[in-house]
């Protein structure tokens, strides 16, 4: 697993891949969120021995509250923790669609799987 920089939610390489994708700004945000959520869910899954699909929003909030990388980057308060946990939790919707289409578990998804899905999904909508 790629280690995160304290202030960054994506690595520089991941950000460059998303920036080069043929997506609107809103879709790039959703893609970045899905990539970060995938990473966070993998980490929480490793710590709790729960499958990513079963991790509750409360468990995500607990993890956010205790993650040293996030604490270094952001001044945490309860409302932000809950907001951020909802964001990560909501990113499971596209992640679950990606896993269904690719037949790859969340824990095995790669950045390009996520970017490719968002590009393909947006082409279908147009």
The predicted-structure confidence for 61-103, as pLDDT tens digits, reads as follows 999 888 777 777 777 788 888 998 999 999 999 999 999 999 9
- Structural domain that includes position 29: 12-125
- For the chain, state the CA radius of gyration: 14
In-domain check, residue 3:
no
In-domain check, residue 6:
no
In-domain check, residue 1:
no
Among 44, 24, 21, 48, which Cα is nearest to 92's? 44
Q: How many domains does the chain have?
A: 1
* pLDDT score of 124: 61
Give CA 12 to chain center in angstroms. Answer: 15
Q: Given a cut of 60, is residue 59 above it in pLDDT?
A: yes
């Amino acid at each position: 697993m790629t280690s995160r920089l304290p202030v960054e939610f994506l690595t520089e390489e991941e950000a460059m891949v998303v920036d080069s994708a043929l997506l609107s700004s809103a879709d790039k945000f959703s893609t970045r969120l899905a990539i970060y959520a995938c990473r966070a869910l993998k980490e929480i899954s490793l710590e709790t021995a729960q499958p990513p699909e079963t991790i509750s929003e409360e468990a995500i909030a607990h993890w956010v509250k205790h993650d040293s990388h996030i604490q270094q980057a952001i001044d945490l308060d309860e409302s932000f923790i809950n907001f951020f946990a909802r964001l990560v939790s909501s990113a499971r919707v596209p992640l679950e669609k990606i896993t269904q289409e690719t037949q790859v578990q969340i824990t095995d998804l790669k950045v390009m799987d996520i970017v490719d899905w968002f590009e393909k999904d947006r082409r279908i909508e147009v």
